[in-house]
Amino acid sequence: MLDLKFLRENPDVVRQNIRNKFQDSKLPLVDEVMALDVERRKITQEADNLRANRNKLSKQIGALMGQGKREEAEEIKAQVAAQAAQLAELEAKEPVLDERIKQIMMTIPNIIDPSVPIGKDDSENVEIQKYGEPVVPDFEIPYHTDIMESFDGIDLDSARRVAGNGFYYLMGDIARIHSAVISYARDFMIERGFTYCVPPFMIRADVVTGVMSFAEMEAMMYKIEGEDLYLIGTSEHSMIGKFIDQILPEEKLPYTLTSYSPCFRKEKGAHGIEERGVYRIHQFEKQEMVVVCRPEDSMMWYDKLWQNTVDLFRSLDIPVRTLECCSGDLADLKVKSCDVEAWSPRQKKYFEVGSCSNLGDAQARRLRIRVNGKDGKYLAHTLNNTVVAPPRMLIAFLENNLQADGTVRIPEALRPYMGGKTEIKPNR
């Protein structure tokens, strides 16, 4: 969410940013919020004047009563009563204006970083760099659920009967790899100096609206009926929420946290044939990284965060690339974002396995996360990035480590988490 003062002083910058994000339907909001802001400040001034005058007249009434001038005192009392009604009317308007201004300000997108490429959607994202050599083996790579089924490692039919589409049972060695990857990712981040966390898996509405846009909230979040609680779509939501209404000592920054959680998502809409199976599902697990830092350090941490994901995938011998998200592909709160994509030998292309985002002070402004610095208080910057998110990670893992005989090689880094196994063998 933008600072209203910034919008007031830089309306053309805000309008151009909206155009850069191809959200022209939001352009009228700039004029609307500026008019509301003028009206709100005018009402505030009028109310303040009335309160000051009321205090002045109250003193006069006391003095007149002390002098026995009751009739004159009653006349002034009548003025106070009339102004009280006027003041009450103004005070009733203030919260209505405040709420509308807040709604608009939470809809206008954050100012993107100048380095972000301008484009309408994810088709115009820009490849930054590739890591590792993508290989297409001389044997056919089956669809990922077929690989899992050869190990008796997945049961989609039972999951449909129990919970519907978008759920699964993982079993045996496939389930073990899933857990091994999560455990390895946890330790990988701990070794890089991050503090391990297991957060709440449900959050209140004020945290939800603090960490994401209304559009994202509607498309993603599951609401707990009858309670002010939502299931988290990622642990970033509750991890950033941890700092709500806090004034953080500057000397304790940055907070570098890595969190494990299940994630719950509606995943609305049609996603295409390559997103069958376990690519897009309603429930999965994830290891996340979150940073709360000084504004001047946020771009440095942004580069560190996505590099962590690249390094983890490369440690498991999976080729990846980084992709700069263009302006139209950025969620409204994001300043800058990039995706990490893993190589799919079966599809002969890369697919998304993680996303790194710098949100500037947008979440901190909404959640009132401030830092007590030597020159006064200021808003923190927040960042997040996926370390690893099985089972999407499993797709990349299985395809890149599948052997011609149907066995799956276990990379050396993962073997301690798999009981020393160097490979797993299919049951059929």
Res 213: pLDDT: 83
The topology under which CATH files domain 4-105 is Helix Hairpins (1.10.287)
How open is the CA angle 239-243-249, to the nearest 5 degrees? 130
Report helix, strand or coil for 341.
Answer: strand
Report helix, strand or coil for 262.
Answer: strand
The bridge status of strand 283-293 relative to strand 320-324 is unpaired
How far apart are the C-alpha atoms of 339 and 278, rounded to whole Å? 19
From first to last of its 428 residues, what are the pLDDT tens digits of the chain? 899 999 999 999 999 999 999 999 999 999 999 999 999 999 999 988 888 877 777 777 777 677 777 777 677 777 777 778 888 888 899 999 999 999 999 999 999 999 999 999 999 999 999 999 999 999 999 999 999 999 999 999 999 999 998 899 999 999 999 999 999 999 999 999 999 999 999 999 999 999 998 778 888 899 999 999 999 999 999 999 999 999 999 999 999 999 999 999 997 654 544 556 888 899 999 999 999 999 999 999 999 999 999 999 999 999 999 999 999 999 999 999 999 999 999 999 999 999 999 999 999 999 999 999 999 999 999 999 999 998 889 999 999 999 999 999 999 999 999 999 999 999 97
Res 272: pLDDT: 47
Q: Locate all alpha helices (DSSP H) within 113-171, ordered by sequence.
A: 144-150, 156-163
In the chain, CATH 3.30.930.10 sits at 122-424
For the record, the structure tokens of 245 come out as 């209404």
How far apart are the C-alpha atoms of 341 and 337, rounded to whole Å? 13
Q: Is 232 exposed, middle or buried (0-12, 13-18, 19+ CB in 10 A)?
A: buried
- Tell me how far the alpha carbon of residue 283 is from its chain's centroid: 17
How far apart are the C-alpha atoms of 210 and 104, rounded to whole Å? 14
For the record, the structure tokens of 290 come out as 């979150």
313 neighbors 396 (Cβ within 8 angstroms): yes
- Tell me how far the alpha carbon of residue 43 is from its chain's centroid: 35
For the record, the structure tokens of 381 come out as 């910057």
Res 270: pLDDT: 43
Res 65: pLDDT: 75
For residue 205, how many other CB atoms are within 10 A of its CB?
14
How far apart are the C-alpha atoms of 187 and 317, rounded to whole Å? 18
How far apart are the C-alpha atoms of 371 and 401, rounded to whole Å? 46
Res 346: pLDDT: 96
Res 273: pLDDT: 44
Max CA pair span of the chain:
108
β partners of residue 422: none
Res 248: pLDDT: 98
Report helix, strand or coil for 202.
Answer: strand
Q: Is 143 exposed, middle or buried (0-12, 13-18, 19+ CB in 10 A)?
A: middle
Res 269: pLDDT: 54
CA distances from residue 220 to 226, 232, 262, 282, 283 in whole angstroms, order as listed: 19, 9, 14, 9, 11
For the record, the structure tokens of 32 come out as 């609307």
- Tell me how far the alpha carbon of residue 220 is from its chain's centroid: 11
Tell me which CATH code domain 122-424 carries. 3.30.930.10
Cis omega (within 30 of 0) on the bond before 134? no
How far apart are the C-alpha atoms of 189 and 309, rounded to whole Å? 10
Strand order in the sheet with 283-293: 126-131, 320-324, 336-344, 349-358, 381-388, 283-293, 255-264, 195-197
In the chain, CATH 1.10.287.40 sits at 4-105
* CB contact set of 345 (below 8 Å; sequence gap of 6+): 134, 135, 136, 137, 141, 399, 400, 402
> Which helix (DSSP H) or strand (DSSP E) does residue 387 occupy?
strand 381-388
